[in-house]
Amino acid sequence: MASPDPGGSVKARPLDAHALARAQRRLQAAAQPPWLHAEVARRMAERLPLIKRQPAVVADWGAFLGASQALLRERYPQARLLAVEQEAARRDATAAALQQPWWSPRRWAGGAALALCADAVTPGQAQLVWANMGLHGVAAPQQLMRQWHQALGVDGFLMFSTLGPGTLTRLQALYRAQGWPPPLAPFVDMHDLGDMLIEAGFADPVMDQETVTLTWASPQALLVELRAMGANVALGRHAGLRTPRWQMQLLQALGSLAVGEGRLALDFEIVYGHAFRPVPRARVAAETQVPLADLRAMVKAGRRPGEQG
């Protein structure tokens, strides 16, 4: 398998990228990450025993919204934890939260943590890239996968989770029945995610999914929590503000989601993926360019540039 082509095509999701960026800024400014993110982090952490290698550096991609810092510290107390945040304000807040007093033993121990942006991660620095519930928050998933691939050293491991297309299907059906535009943009199918991982340079991707059902006591509570998780960034969504009359219609329609004991229920498809970064292989061409980090890994593995293995 060839190394990912930095100039290759990047598959973009059919959504409003500007609306997505606004929604992400709002989520990053929240006091705490959504409850569902923390629950998925707990479930994903149960899979960490699959990794026998103890990473010296763990890159927690989208650390705040991933809600995984405590879990990763518990599993890898001696690892250096990189909290990767793209938003400058959130990065500053994360850095402040990670700051240890000068007298703290952790400040000088191997388990120190650092907040930084993705561009500041040294290529090949991490042995584990952990990305909980962040992939559905980007317009071009494959571009983010390439960043993960670059951050990992050879034989480094990737673990991530994201929302799948089985998310909020009853809400989508409700909107269609009312003749309204879609309530959310489509999510990427796990099989397509697996293909993207291979195109990004990863090997042996394994994908699986589960459905998590959340319930609420009232339509108002449901809407508050959905807003805490994201926003409607569908291209075909309603273009302007809705009226109080429409909001009343929505609240009444949401009553049809009631199940046992009268609570409203919606399903979320959680997709899990893991893969590793193999020894890089250069493309065969009249002139072959190999990044220095990849060249060193190839030499260490006893492979010459252009050799297909």
Q: What are phi and psi of 56, to 5 degrees?
A: -85, -30
**Residue 224's Cα: distance from chain center in Å?**
22
> Distance between terminal CA atoms of the chain?
9
pLDDT of 280 reads 80
Write down the pLDDT at residue 283.
Answer: 58
pLDDT one-digit tens code per residue, 242-281 = 999 999 999 999 999 999 889 999 999 999 999 999 998 7
DSSP letter string over 196-213?
HHHHTT-EEEEEEEEEEE
- pTM of the prediction? 0.85
pLDDT band at 7 (very low <50, low <70, confident <90, very high): very low
pLDDT digits (tens, 9 = 90+) for 64-97: 999 999 999 999 999 999 999 988 888 888 887 7
| DSSP states along 97-134 | HHPPPTT-HHHHSTT-EEEE-GGGSPTT-EEEEEEES-
Of 62, 24, 244, nearest to 160 (Cα)?
62
Superfamily of domain 17-278: Vaccinia Virus protein VP39 (3.40.50.150)
Rounded CA gap, 286 and 282, in Å? Answer: 12
Which H or E run contains 74?
helix 69-75
pLDDT tens-digit readout, 175-221:
999 999 999 999 999 999 999 999 999 999 999 999 999 999 999 99
The pair of structure tokens assigned to 18 is: 């500007």
What are the backbone dihedrals phi and psi of residue 89, each rounded to the nearest 5 degrees, phi first?
-65, -40
What would the mean pLDDT of 159-182 be, rounded to a whole number?
A: 98
Share of the chain above pLDDT 70, in %: 83
Task: Give 27: exposed, middle or buried? Use CB within 10 Å, 0-12, 13-18, 19+.
Answer: buried
Three-class SS of residue 24?
helix
